[in-house]
Structure 1
């Protein structure tokens, strides 16, 4: 208690010190600290973020309303060197006395130490100097505001500003905007000098962005200019640029209306010291030349090998190493077609996707053989990557099971394996880690290990015995991957070997959409140490042992301390209960508990064979890493075992004594699984973002199975899920995580997070996570773990908390502290805030944002 009181007192003193800082300490006399910018539009305050972004000066940043960075800056000594020297000037003889003890050199170096100088440099760099009102910048802000509203159709806008004092050396700036009525677009005409472009414009089915009756906006005019340019350049106008689109806007004699004349002049051609104009030409492609091994070094050397395939000319400065179709399938520019920017972009994307060339370049030149000058030659320059490349990585990892891990891998990539632009990737990996959740009798720090070997062969096309161009055209950049892998793990104490293999097809229906069809996904999981089950799942053992203390009838099941012997005693007692050799009767609570423990043990220790087919579709509007206004939707449906059952039925194969089919003397899994994942981000400016995520997943066993394999089940809790619970420690249902590593076959998860800037690269977040897992339509008998109807939605747990993140540009280090806000494991009426304290909180460490 005394220790905690000391911490609390220290925290209060620090808080008082920071809060006691004078915000205007660094504000000179006669100047004012900017506390607020207010934009008043026609007398009313506006929260228009774009308008606010016109400000040259913005108030000092706040953290939950407190100017933390300003006060940190005010704590700093701006001239620590002078202060250090003044100490000796004000105390004659002090320097000599200290020099006798430390030496003159050490006394001088002491002034550069962290205590005297470093801490102040840190406070200055971390903090933020006061934003002092500068009327020159205020006038610039006012001018930008005037342009902003003028560009939105308020041609008669009037602006001024005033500065209001709000305290000693503090003031706010009011920007007063009187817009007047907005101007609307009236008649819209076009004047296009080139007949060919005029014809294209009239046949364009895309609606114009400029519409009669809509409010004037400069951005609409720019967007229309880009729309026209894109359309023309995709229909042969090779030399057309946005600068050729101009507008004549006439407001004379109009009341708050503007007539628009869209003007497109002829092509302006520069010839030495003169220029001339002529109508734009619509260009067609006369030749497509592909240089398969181009480099600046060999560009002047003669071509040694060439061929023509489907009207494509392929050239090589050495021997041609590619099957022609492998390259031409990636080029969307064809002889006789009209020039198109889109085809150029698609070709570049596809060629990049082959991963056998560096920075493909496509250049055009006017074909001098055409007397009309309306033909282009497309030259595709490809620089091959090395056929063999070796890679090695060293990673430090953190996961829901592994608290700390060190991983290393080596890989070899072989390109153009069969001369059809294929790539073969072979990699080996090893990982050692530490986990406090593992069975660890020897108390070793590194108690988790894994090694494995993987192979993946990629084909830049769909590999099927029939054509797929009509279903998946090559503009969707299709590919096929064949994979195989093996790994051996020493993980949760059971240890396992994992064999995988798969055949998958990938394509992109649109730029923002991706699709993946895993035609075959095979997995064989072999548990190497099933007898160690009760050493790992200690809660199950304790429950079984507690029941055995009352109902066990055989002394050989117990050790000298009268506890069940693992594995002989646990297996013996369970067998006695289920076969009626104890006083426990079917239907009694303890009998059901033993039955449930045994069901779970069998499920988690049995070897699994899974042969699945799945389809995954993803759509995202995210443009780049800096985009914070987007959504992402992902759905997946997976079916396992159906093909094997169909073959078994057709072949009339025999079933085992359990009434199930087997393959390699092993009952295979059969289930259907579907998932929906939706993420949405809203950017409110000033580095404030709200992010939400919703997830629903369910896997239903049928036919050959009455449960879902552990590797395909769901769990809840952890740094990327409900952060108020440890991984695998939430649910199922209201069971209060009675087992170790709790999992189930249905999951609901909802999360929301408000992200904001604290200072520098340090970001903060306030979050709320809701969700749980349940068993449904499987062999679990515990009613508390089952989802029986809509009423069970009351079992959704809620966690809330806050976090800090440090942005290193290429990844984010994340710390989140979660508190159990609503815990369905408690009795109804006693679920809210029962464990809402630091003692029951969970600190999560993560890499990058959770969603």
Structure 2
């Protein structure tokens, strides 16, 4: 079936936005006979930055009085229906002004001026009221001076030493959030330096808005009036306040006591039903004592060393709340315990004993998964239906040392159910077995390397995995992969480093694949095999803007180097691959009231610098980049985009079923606007409008297919662009996604520089190949 609409590029873009266009009308449900609130609008004026104006406008929408606000639901990201609108009452406008003014005061705007506009329209016998609030926010209060009066020499000294980290800086805007942040910072500072009893209630701020020039004495009434007028003018033009941080009167001496760490007591076999406050008095425990550490147990399920290694508090140290929470988090993230709690107890007048209550996680666990797939991008016969099963066994406490052991077994088949020859039903058989040990520490020779103590969530990972794939009549692939790596965290950064990664691949080509090689010689590079001895580094950073918590960022950088050192050994030079591969990914999202705008950018580059004539062209195929599928360029099938604007592989596709494309370089950018549709029986139904752009290329020249190589001058020509929409069904614990995307620009399309000038579900290329322009993708979870 083919639908052709003679329309231009602009019309095609408009077609992708039809859901939003259809939803632009607004209807009313349960409209009262009296005039009712139909719409609310806020306009800010004043000399304030654009981002600040947008932020305040968005926040102020939440401060309309309930009886003066139209309750709306959205569909396709646009207001669609007003439900049970309130009857208009002018008194509710004043309440809204009071709420908005209070919020602006909390943000440091104390001189805002409000004016409102009320417009009544008659539509279908409905009297709709549109409320428009116009606010001149004036200038934000700035901080003039900051002082600290803490009444204790130690507190005063700590405050002075950390003055550079204060949130209260002269000339900066004043608001209550800044005040709260500063008080939280000071309390955290004191509790990191032994003041265990100091709390937020013990400190406050005094704000002085008085202009000291008003205190000038004069008997001249005209002079006094001039002083008052000048003060009012200064307050309007450049309002500023003095702030003093002070301590409340202290009647409890523990508030100003610096505590030191005493003895550590561990209860690693605590039950959820235990009343932990009574456990220290239970005499039925066995005890293991080491210096200032006591482990109390009954079954002996854990070794004390793992507890000591992941406790960041030591006997005699000042109490540090950061180390306290760091110990809780680290012990909880090992996996051996499902719940960790630490309760300090005061002993003597300045000593804290720490009691650790740890509830063990289930030691042994098993899981089984069944997966189904449909493969239309394979060699030989297409439309293969696959089924596979995954069995996983997890031991969370190997050798009583909280070491995790993960064993996985997978097997599956691909069947050609459409063939009339029953002997060819079974097309692919695969089987794999893998095992991983996760040690809750960094195993390395530098036992006294202090730099390692500053790292969090330290883990050593040892992995080995073997697999066998038999693709009937085409190839048999065997692989063995083993690695030794480290994972740790510092701040918002997660580091993964594998100093040793060994990958062995062997492939037997059968007569079916040899026949394809004769027809299509370039396929040989997609079935190269060999050995990889490499190391790789990965940095992952997640962070959220402090100024705007609705904006989140994700950054991943990775580099892999193979054969750099071992390739210098003559006996190994021709036995292993030598290459370098780098990639980076950045994600950014803005969450609005009910919608979200998400962006992703990815770049990857690999260069093979080996000397072997077979390998000096590209990376090994199992290390190359590919595009297409439910998590990449969604208008194209899995691994079916590229290379560049080459049509060589597409021409070959008309003669055989091989479609997989791999390249040494990839660029991709994605943008998606997500919005809710409805909630049915607790299941959230949402949708999205999205666009994907990118491609994969080779980095070295190929005389047979020169258009497959990347060059900056051909970048715009080579870029593929897809647009589409989709459904997201959110079951809370997992999300099912169905996306439909259209090839707006296909570099392999021979006309109009690849751009679509007509909406066609499919098209016939000059070589007679029928190509689908619409891709349907089924995925689990969000694409990025």
**Pairwise CA distance, 1:249:** 1.7
Asked if 2 retains the 8 angstrom alpha-carbon contact of 1:701 and 1:708, the reply is: no
SS at match of 2:398: coil
Q: 2:339 aligns with which of 349, 359, 363?
A: 359
Alignment of 1:325-364 (within 5 A): 325-364=305-344
1:598 aligns with 2:521: yes
Structure 1 residue 439, shift from structure 2 partner: 10
Give 1:463 shift.
Answer: 1.9
1:49 aligns with 2:58: yes
Check if 1:661 corresponds to 2:644: no
| Alpha-carbon distance in 2 for matches of 1:140, 1:442 | 78
Conserved? CA contact 1:698–1:746, under 8 Å: yes
Match for residue 538 of structure 2 among 610, 613, 616: 616
Mapped to 2, the partners of 1:835 and 1:144 lie a distance apart of 53
1:331 Cα deviation from its structure 2 partner = 0.2
Contact 2:42–2:135 under 8 Å retained in 1: no
Query: Contact conserved, 2:4 with 2:760, CA < 8 A, in 1?
Result: no
Deviation at 1:725, TM superposition (A): 1.8
1:384-417 alpha-carbon deviations (Å, 9 max, x no partner)? 3344333344456789969976553333323432
The answer to whether the Cα contact below 8 Å between 1:35 and 1:60 also exists between their aligned partners in 2 is no
In structure 2, runs of 5+ residues without a counterpart are: 6-14, 213-234, 378-382, 653-658, 763-772
Asked if the contact 2:77/2:675 (under 8 Å) is kept, the reply is: no
Deviation at 1:632?
1.2
Counterpart contact for 2:404–2:437, Cα < 8 Å: yes
Q: 2:717 aligns with which of 767, 775, 794?
A: 794
Change beyond 3 A, Cα 1:790–1:676: farther
Instruction: State the 1:489 CA deviation.
Output: 3.4
Distance 2:376 2:161 in 1: 58
Residue 327 of structure 1 aligns to a residue whose secondary structure is helix
Stretch of structure 1 that moved more, 41-50 or 244-253: 41-50
2:151 is matched with 193
Q: How do residues 113-128 of structure 1 correspond to structure 2 at under 5 angstroms?
A: none
Q: Distance in 1 between matches of 2:29 and 2:361?
A: 61
**1:191·1:264 contact (CA, 8 Å) conserved in 2?**
yes
| 1:747-806 per-position Cα deviation (integer Å, ceiling 9, x unaligned) | 111112222233343322222211111112376742121224544453122222222322
Q: Are the counterparts in 2 of residues 306 and 313 from structure 1 also a CA contact under 8 Å?
A: no
2:268 alignment partner in structure 1: 292
Equivalent-residue separation in structure 1 for 2:375 and 2:736 (angstroms): 13
For 2:409 and 2:251, locate their aligned partners in 1 and report how far apart those are by CA, in whole Å: 60
Offset of residue 324 of structure 1: 3.5
Does structure 2 retain, via aligned residues, the 8 Å contact 1:476–1:509?
A: yes
1:283 aligns with 2:259: yes
SS in 2 for 1:49: helix
CA contact (8 A) 2:389 2:411 kept: yes
Moved more, 421-430 or 50-59: 50-59
Q: 1:215 to 1:398 in 2, by over 3 A?
A: farther
Partner of 1:542: none
Tell me if 1:423 matches 2:404. yes
Q: Tell me whether 1:679 sits opposite 2:587 in the alignment.
A: yes
* 2:639 is equivalent to residue 728 of structure 1: yes
Q: Is the 8 A contact 1:292 1:314 kept in 2?
A: no
Preserved CA contact (<8 Å) 1:162 1:174 = yes
Q: CA deviation at 1:50?
A: 1.6
Alignment partner, residue 636 of structure 1: 558
Change (3 A) 1:267 1:790: farther
**Bigger mean CA offset, 378-387 vs 216-225:** 378-387
Shift of 1:239: 1.3
Instruction: Quickly say closer, same or farther: Cα 1:789–1:183, change in 2 above 3 A.
Output: closer
- Aligned-residue Cα RMSD (Å) equals 3.8
What is the TM-score when the length of structure 1 is the normalising length?
A: 0.74
Q: Determine the structure 1 residue equivalent to 2:215.
A: none
Cα displacement string for residues 583-635 of structure 1 (whole angstroms, at most 9, x for unaligned residues): xxxxxxxxxxx6xx23423x3444433222111111111599x9752111111
Q: Which residue of 2 aligns with 1:748?
A: 667
CA contact (8 A) 2:32 2:85 kept: no
> How much has 1:341 moved relative to structure 2?
1.2
Render the CA deviation track for 1:319-348: whole Å, top value 9, x for unaligned: 645443322110001101111111011111
Is 1:313 matched with 2:325? no
1:43 shift after superposition: 12
Q: Are the structure 2 counterparts of residues 149 and 489 from structure 1 closer, same or farther at C-alpha, using a change threshold of 3 Å?
A: same
User: Does 1:177 find its partner at 2:135?
Assistant: yes
Distance 1:431 1:600 in 2: 25
Q: Counterparts of 1:440 and 1:239 in 2: how far apart (Å)?
A: 80
SS across alignment from 1:766: strand
| Counterpart for residue 259 of structure 1 | 242
- 1:125 is matched with none
**C-alpha distance in structure 2 between counterparts of 1:850 and 1:618, whole Å:** 18
In structure 1, the residue corresponding to 2:101 is in which secondary structure?
A: helix
1: CA distance between counterparts of 2:553 and 2:743? 28
2:83 is the counterpart of 1:141? no
Q: 1:764 to 1:191 in 2, by over 3 A?
A: same
* Structure number, greater radius of gyration: 1
Shift of 1:676: 1.2
The match for 1:209 is 167
1:718 corresponds to 2:629: yes
1:489 equivalent in structure 2: 469
Q: 1:520 aligns with which of 500, 504, 509?
A: 500
Count of paired positions: 698
Alignment partner, residue 380 of structure 2: none
CA change 1:247–1:698 in 2 (3 A) is same
Distance 1:765 1:131, change over 3 A: farther
User: What's the TM-score, normalizing by structure 2?
Assistant: 0.80
Residues 393 and 846 (structure 1 numbering): CA distance in 2 closer, same or farther, change over 3 Å? closer
> What is aligned with 1:759?
678
Match status 1:841 vs 2:774:
yes
- Residues 695 and 850 (structure 1), Cα distance of their counterparts in 2 relative to 1, 3 Å cut: farther
Deviation at 1:715, TM superposition (A): 1.4
Contact 2:34/2:87 (CA < 8 Å) preserved in 1?
A: no
Report whether the alignment pairs 1:38 with 2:42: yes
| Partner SS for 2:443 | coil
Q: State how far apart, in whole Å, the 2-side matches of 1:4 and 1:828 are.
A: 16
Matched, 1:646 2:582: no
Mapped contact 1:293–1:383 kept (Cα < 8 A): yes
Which residue of structure 2 aligns with residue 817 of structure 1? 740
1:627-665 Cα offsets, whole Å, 9 max, x none, are 752111111111223444234x2xx57xxxxxx734xxx
User: What secondary structure sits across from 1:221 in the alignment?
Assistant: helix
Q: Cα gap change, 1:160/1:329 in structure 2, threshold over 3 Å: closer, same or farther?
A: same
